[in-house]
């Protein structure tokens, strides 16, 4: 099955907004085995929207159209659909009452009515029409109209569009889909490993790569359960320590499950990551059962006052050092009753850094049993990338320890290690 994507919006044309929906849709559709023939990005102009709807519906099995479903003046997708396929616009009472009852939509009756004026024979995509978006069958071609708002677009695409498309796939047999998540490997590493495997091991398995920075998803699809199992076994044997989850769980979820199972607790002390580690941990529902507290000690004084870091250590070794990372993690363990403590100190950039420790240098401390280890990392990228890599790496150090114990602490970007017995 082959489809095309149409993105509507002046802001996409002018580059005012990055088209993250296009990247997302490309990845998800490709990973699920659908071909995309072309991607069209057009302004909020009736004539050209109508033209492409009419042209592309003839060429493809399905179209995914994003944008122009809102209540504002520049939203004209419904009108374009009505013109392109000769469909009457009718007020959809269910959608209208859903709009009225949604707290977020506290706008005028006129705008609500405009938004609920849908082409006839459309089928809502979200249950109870909780967001805009509908399905339309035009001569057995499948048209999916999705809101341009990224989280709504992505949610509907994953939970409604893909399952509908999969059901209608010709010769559809229930394929097994496994989504594995990796950390500290990039897609080319995984790809290279797989390319060197014997062909028969991977035949009949469709393999898709899908990076969700800084994790990588490997999406496997097959009808052959045994083949899949032996392939995953091979992957685990060679890339096991990088494998976060076979169930598409993110690192914070994996950490959460491990700590909950083992009834263990953690606390953190963050400097350069500025709360991101805590925020990742607490993004998981139920994290209160294993996350005790976090210290965002951004200034040298706060490291001394809250964590008991020795001012002489800072003076002698610098605020960004193995020694400070160690004393931070040690301090957390002393001041709490947790089993594990993580700490970070470093230069996330773009300014700052020293000759010894340029921007991107991050020390991660990890206190466990009677030890504190500090790992030096040299990350690169923008501030946000460096903070994200450091935070995920800190969590992954804990994960590897919980799953494999000591001795599995080698990382791509690691550039040094130091240990202290406490």
Report the site for its own copies in 99-138 (rule: CB under 8 A): 103-108, 111
Q: Contacting its own copies (CB under 8 A), which of 139, 151, 174, 200?
A: 151
- 134-156 burial, b at 16+ Cβ within 10 Å, e below that, comes to bbbebeebbbbbbbbbeebbbbb
Give whichever of 121 and 413 is closer to its own copies, judged by the CB atom.
Answer: 413
Structure tokens at 17: 């907004």
Site string for its own copies, 329-368 (x = CB under 8 A): -------x-----------xxxx-----------------
Cβ–Cβ under 8 Å, residues 276 and 387 = yes
Least distance (Å) between residue 98 CB and its own copies = 14
> Among residues 118 and 190, whose Cβ is nearest to its own copies?
190
Contact predicate 332/305, CB 8 Å: no
Contacts of 353 (CB under 8 A, 6+ apart): 347, 359, 360, 361
Contact residue for its own copies among 298, 311, 334, 410 (CB under 8 A): 298
Between residue 402 and residue 421, which ones bind its own copies under the rule CB under 8 A? Answer: 412-413
Residues numbered 33 to 72 that lie near its own copies (CB under 8 A) are 36-43, 48, 70-72
Question: 260: closest CA among 294, 296, 223, 286?
Answer: 286
* Residue numbers 2-31 binding its own copies by CB under 8 A: 9-19, 22-28, 30
Instruction: Name residues contacting its own copies, limited to 194-223 (CB under 8 A).
Output: 195, 206-213, 217, 219, 221
**123 or 212: CB nearest its own copies:** 212
Among the residues of 60-186, which ranges form H helices?
77-85, 93-101, 109-115, 150-156, 162-168
User: How many Å apart are CA 1 and CA 61, to the nearest integer?
Assistant: 6
Give the angle 250-401-326 at the CA atoms, nearest 5°.
105
The torsion angles phi and psi of 62, rounded to 5 degrees, stand at -145, 155
Cα of 136 vs its chain's centroid, Å: 29
Q: Map the footprint of its own copies across residues 157-176, applying CB under 8 A.
A: none
CB of 239 to its own copies, least distance (A): 14
Chain-centre distance for alpha carbon 13: 25
Residue 246 engages its own copies in binding (rule: CB under 8 A): no
User: Cβ closer to its own copies: 121 or 335?
Assistant: 335
Instruction: Determine how β-strand 243-245 pairs with β-strand 117-119.
Output: unpaired
Q: Indicate which single residue of 101, 191, 354, 415 sits in contact with its own copies (rule: CB under 8 A).
A: 191
What residues numbered 250-289 form the site for its own copies, per CB under 8 A? 268, 270, 273-279, 281-283, 285-288
Task: Point out which span in 143-151, 256-264, 310-318, 403-411 binds its own copies (CB under 8 A).
Answer: 143-151
Among 78, 126, 343, 387, binds its own copies (CB under 8 A): 387
């Amino acid at each position: 099955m082959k489809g095309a994507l149409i993105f509507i919006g002046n802001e996409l044309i002018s580059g005012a907004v990055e088209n993250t929906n296009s990247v997302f849709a490309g990845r998800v559709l490709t990973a699920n085995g659908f071909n995309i023939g072309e991607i069209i990005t057009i302004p909020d102009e009736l004539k050209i929207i109508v033209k492409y709807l009419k042209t592309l519906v003839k060429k493809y099995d399905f179209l995914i159209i994003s944008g122009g479903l809102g209540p504002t003046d520049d939203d004209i997708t419904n009108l374009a659909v009505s013109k392109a396929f000769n469909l009457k616009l009718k007020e959809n009472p269910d959608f209208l009452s859903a709009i009225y009852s949604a707290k977020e939509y506290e706008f005028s009756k006129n705008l609500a009515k405009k938004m609920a004026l849908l082409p006839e024979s459309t089928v809502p995509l979200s249950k109870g029409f909780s967001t805009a978006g509908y399905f339309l069958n035009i001569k057995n071609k499948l048209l999916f109209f999705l809101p341009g708002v990224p989280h709504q677009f992505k949610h509907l695409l994953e939970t409604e569009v893909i399952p509908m498309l999969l059901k209608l796939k010709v010769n559809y047999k229930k394929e097994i889909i496994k989504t594995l998540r990796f950390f500290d490997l990039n897609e080319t590493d995984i790809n290279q490993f797989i390319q060197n495997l014997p062909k028969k091991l991977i035949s009949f398995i469709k393999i898709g790569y899908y990076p969700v920075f800084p994790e990588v998803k490997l999406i496997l699809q097959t009808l052959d359960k045994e083949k899949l199992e032996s392939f995953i076994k091979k992957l685990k044997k060679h890339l096991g320590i990088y494998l976060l989850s076979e169930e598409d769980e993110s690192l914070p979820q994996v950490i959460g499950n491990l700590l909950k199972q083992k009834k263990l607790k953690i606390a953190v002390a963050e400097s350069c990551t500025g709360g991101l580690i805590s925020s990742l941990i607490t993004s998981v529902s139920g994290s209160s059962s294993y996350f005790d507290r976090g210290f965002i000690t951004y200034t040298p004084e706060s490291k001394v006052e809250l964590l008991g870091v020795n001012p002489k250590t800072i003076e002698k070794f610098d605020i960004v050092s193995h020694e400070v990372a160690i004393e931070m993690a040690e301090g957390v363990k002393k001041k709490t009753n947790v089993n594990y403590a993580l700490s970070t100190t470093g230069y996330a950039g773009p300014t700052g850094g020293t000759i010894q420790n340029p921007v991107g240098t991050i020390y991660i401390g990890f206190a466990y049993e009677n030890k504190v280890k500090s790992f030096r990392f040299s990350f690169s990228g923008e501030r946000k990338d460096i903070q994200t890599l450091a935070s995920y790496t800190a969590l992954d150090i804990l994960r590897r320890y919980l799953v494999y114990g000591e001795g599995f602490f080698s990382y791509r970007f690691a550039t040094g290690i130091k240990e202290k017995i406490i």
